[in-house]
Amino acid sequence: MADKKMIVETLFDAVDGQLAKADIERFIEKPKHTHLGDYAFPCFALAKIFRQSPTNIAKEVSEKMVNSIIEKVEAVGGYVNIFLKQSEISKTVLSNIVTFRSAYGQQEQGENQTITIDFSSPNIAKPFSMGHLRSTVIGNALANISEKNGYEVVRINHIGDWGTQFGKLIVAYHLWGKKELIEQSPVRELLKIYVKFHDEAERDDTLNDQARAAFKRLEQGDDEAMRLWHWFREASLKEFEQVYALLGIRFDSYAGEAFYNDKMNRIVDLLAEKELLEESDGAMVVNLENMPPCLIKKTDGTTLYATRDLAAALYRHETYKSEKSFYVVGNEQSLHFKQLFNVLEKIGYEWARELQHIPFGMMLKDGKKMSTRKGKVVLLAEVLDEAIELAEKNIEDKNPKLQHKEEIAKIVGTGAVIFHDLKNHRLNDIDFSLEEMLNFEGETGPYVQYTYARICSLLRKGQYNDQECKFEGLSEEAWPVIITLKEFPEVVTKAFELADPSQIAKHLIELSRAFNKYYAHTRILEEDATMQAKLTLCSSVAIVLKEGLRLLGIQAPEEM
Ligand code: ARG
């Protein structure tokens, strides 16, 4: 049993069951300093129940606390401070880590269950926006975290490869497109003519009509339109794939919106059969309680984003038999997903309750939204290149003799961008600042990576051999490191339950801080009786840092 659970049980008995276990768990605090104990339990909420002062209650409770992992209990004011048996726990934690290595923290709760995660999902012929970057990074981390919790994960890229924007592009291509340029740099060129289309359409109304007509031709399967669509799609995908390769991300399915073209009739018929489909100004809608109706077909008979999502949900449910589904999409689409889930529930699909929108905030630059409109775009590939370049400069300053600088700069640059995104709760807006991301001393990816590399160097210098682990004789200073290592499995569970990768990121910062403090006070490479134990501790920290970074989608360089 996890230690915290054991403490909760013991406290539950000590308060004569007068407080629910869930409440006890909620009240338990982690003191800022370990000399105040490893856990603290405030008794203020009990004052009313026992009609006594919190100080008295704390005294009584602490006298009743007995548990095999507890060293001592102290009552201080209204608090019960709990101290764990350090040497026993150190031994258990470290031996667990060196035995299980990267599987340390692996959970079983999701075993034999599948979860589909819809993430990244950029739109063809529109740039890969910062919103898509966030979805990519958050979705990938959630996929890894789900696997670490035992789930089978299906990674789905619901590419935006259908819709009226293709009508606009076809028109724009006929007017201004240059074949060679598009072949050279598809996303950039397609974006250029797409932006031009919008500019021109402000002056010339007929362009939008032409675009509608072109999209209609596409929906009817017109040869020329289909050929262009195919080309735009393939060319853009190839470019997106380069970004995925750089970030080390893969997908199990690229079934995008167009994939559902022949699967929508079924859902539309079903809606009609259940008498959920209603006419409204010539369009077909499903009316919903407490929210605007969900549009299923436009007046001209064409389908919509929502129609395709309905078909996709059904298809995924039948194909993957998934127990859960996450949609990692910006919070501006909250209404869309509410409507989607509601319509599915109205049809009578019980499983619709297991569909979950995982929203996130915006990426800002100097406090403003990073716009993809009007050509003011920041292309993702360029952002990553810039981060890598800056990382290379930093490495050049710090460690000019380093080998494989380019490779390492790639790991550090992309790691910095990813970590910066994941270290705050996803719903917060984040400010895009390359300098801040790449700061080796702040709460950054490079800081964690640097800590990892420093440990690797210690292990090399100390000629550490993992067959000779020792767990005894560590100093008092090692305890904060160990207690942080001990929490990693709990953090893995919590990150999944809250669908919140920042739990992991914050934990890695905490672990790096704790380790660096230990390192500042301890001569690790001093040849004394405890050197093997010190190196075992170092190695354990390295294992957890590397695994935690992996969960976030970040590599850990052994030197930097
Ligand atoms: N392509 C959409 C966009 O960029 C995101 C798609 C998200 N996934 C979904 N199943 N709707 O806005």
Give residue 120 CA to ligand 1 midpoint distance, Å.
Answer: 8
Query: In whole angstroms, what is the distance from residue 156 CA to residue 329 CA?
Result: 13
Query: In whole angstroms, what is the distance from residue 107 CA to residue 313 CA?
Result: 27
- Asked if residue 475 and residue 450 are part of one domain, the reply reads yes
Phi then psi for residue 297, to 5 deg, are: -140, 140
Give residue 156 CA to ligand 1 midpoint distance, Å.
Answer: 11
Give residue 258 CA to ligand 1 midpoint distance, Å.
Answer: 12
Residue 558 lies in a domain: no
Phi then psi for residue 418, to 5 deg, are: -65, -45
Residue identifier of the C-alpha nearest atom 6 of ligand 1: 121
Residue 281 lies in a domain: no
**Chain centre distance of CA 30:** 25
Give residue 285 CA to ligand 1 midpoint distance, Å.
Answer: 20
Give 188-216 pLDDT, tens digit per residue.
888 889 989 999 999 999 999 999 999 98
Mean pLDDT of the region 288-307 = 91
Residue identifier of the C-alpha nearest atom 8 of ligand 1: 158
Which residues pair with residue 253 across a beta bridge?
156
**Rounded (10°) angle between helices 531-552 and 502-521:** 160
The C-alpha angle with vertex 245 and arms to 507 and 135, in degrees rounded to 5, equals 55
Nearest alpha carbon to residue 286 among 299, 300, 301, 271? 271
Residue 294 lies in a domain: no
Inter-residue contact 85 to 294 (CB < 8 Å): no
Give the position, in ligand 1's atom list, of the atom nearest the Cα of 329: 7
Extract the tokens encoding 439: 């700061």
Give the position, in ligand 1's atom list, of the atom nearest the Cα of 160: 1
Query: In whole angstroms, what is the distance from residue 27 CA to residue 497 CA?
Result: 19
Give residue 123 CA to ligand 1 midpoint distance, Å.
Answer: 8
Residue 371 has pLDDT above 70, yes or no: no
Residue 377 has pLDDT above 60, yes or no: no
Phi then psi for residue 95, to 5 deg, are: -70, -35
Residue 398 lies in a domain: yes
Residue 446: give the domain boundaries. 380-552
Residue 100 lies in a domain: no
Whichever domain contains 123, its CATH number is: 3.40.50.620
- Asked if residue 137 and residue 60 are part of one domain, the reply reads no
Which residues pair with residue 368 across a beta bridge?
365
- Asked if residue 503 and residue 395 are part of one domain, the reply reads yes
Residue 195 lies in a domain: yes
Cβ density class 513-539: b for 16+ within 10 Å, e for less: bbbbebbeebebeeeeebbbbbbbbbb
Residue 186 has pLDDT above 90, yes or no: no
pLDDT bin (cut points 50, 70, 90) of residue 374 is very low
Give 37-70 pLDDT, tens digit per residue.
999 999 998 998 999 999 999 999 999 998 888 9
Extract the tokens encoding 331: 């919070």
Predicted structure pTM score: 0.91
pLDDT over 70, % of the chain: 98
The C-alpha angle with vertex 24 and arms to 22 and 27, in degrees rounded to 5, equals 110
Query: In whole angstroms, what is the distance from residue 11 CA to residue 40 CA?
Result: 11
Residue 487 has pLDDT above 50, yes or no: yes
Residue identifier of the C-alpha nearest atom 1 of ligand 1: 160
pLDDT bin (cut points 50, 70, 90) of residue 378 is low
- Asked if residue 331 and residue 408 are part of one domain, the reply reads no
Residue 525 has pLDDT above 50, yes or no: yes
Mean pLDDT of the region 108-119 = 97
- Asked if residue 254 and residue 155 are part of one domain, the reply reads yes
- Asked if residue 386 and residue 365 are part of one domain, the reply reads no
Q: What is the pLDDT of residue 373?
A: 47
Give 423-479 pLDDT, tens digit per residue.
999 999 988 888 888 888 889 999 999 999 999 999 999 999 888 889 888 999 999
Q: What is the pLDDT of residue 69?
A: 87
ipTM of the complex: 0.99
Q: What is the pLDDT of residue 466?
A: 83
Strand pairing class (324-328; 355-358): parallel
pLDDT top residue among 33 and 56? 56
- Asked if residue 392 and residue 358 are part of one domain, the reply reads no
**448 Cβ contact list (under 8 Å, min separation 6):** 419, 508, 509, 512, 545, 548, 549
Whichever domain contains 459, its CATH number is: 1.10.730.10
DSSP string, 207-232: HHHHHHHHHHHHHTT-HHHHHHHHHH
Give residue 160 CA to ligand 1 midpoint distance, Å.
Answer: 6
Residue 495 has pLDDT above 90, yes or no: yes
pLDDT top residue among 156 and 301? 156
Give the position, in ligand 1's atom list, of the atom nearest the Cα of 333: 12
123 DSSP 8-state letter? B
CA distances 148 to 107, 221, 403, 422, Å, are: 6, 44, 33, 17
Mean pLDDT of the region 504-533 = 95
- Asked if residue 163 and residue 220 are part of one domain, the reply reads yes
Inter-residue contact 271 to 340 (CB < 8 Å): no
Give the position, in ligand 1's atom list, of the atom nearest the Cα of 336: 11
Q: Which residues line ligand 1 at a C-beta cut-off of 6 Å?
A: 118, 121, 123, 158, 160, 309, 312, 327, 329
Q: Count of domains in the chain?
A: 3
Which residues pair with residue 326 across a beta bridge?
117, 356
Phi then psi for residue 292, to 5 deg, are: -60, 155
Phi then psi for residue 416, to 5 deg, are: -65, -45
Strand pairing class (368-369; 363-365): antiparallel
Q: What is the pLDDT of residue 365?
A: 77
Q: Which of 155, 333, 355 to mutate to test the pocket of ligand 1 (most atoms within 8 A of CB)?
A: 333
Q: Which of 119, 237, 329 to mutate to test the pocket of ligand 1 (most atoms within 8 A of CB)?
A: 329
Whichever domain contains 31, its CATH number is: 3.30.1360.70
- Asked if residue 167 and residue 68 are part of one domain, the reply reads no
Which residues pair with residue 155 across a beta bridge?
117
Run of H or E including 328: strand 324-328
Lowest mean pLDDT among 86-95, 120-129, 174-183: 120-129
Residue 106 has pLDDT above 50, yes or no: yes
Q: What is the pLDDT of residue 303?
A: 83
Give 275-284 pLDDT, tens digit per residue.
999 999 999 9
Which residues pair with residue 167 across a beta bridge?
none
Nearest alpha carbon to residue 501 among 148, 130, 245? 148
Residue 282 lies in a domain: no
Query: In whole angstroms, what is the distance from residue 235 CA to residue 553 CA?
Result: 26
Extract the tokens encoding 454: 């420093």
Give the position, in ligand 1's atom list, of the atom nearest the Cα of 312: 10
pLDDT bin (cut points 50, 70, 90) of residue 300 is confident
Inter-residue contact 36 to 82 (CB < 8 Å): no
CA distances 24 to 15, 58, 421, 474, 523, Å, are: 10, 14, 33, 32, 40
Residue 524 lies in a domain: yes
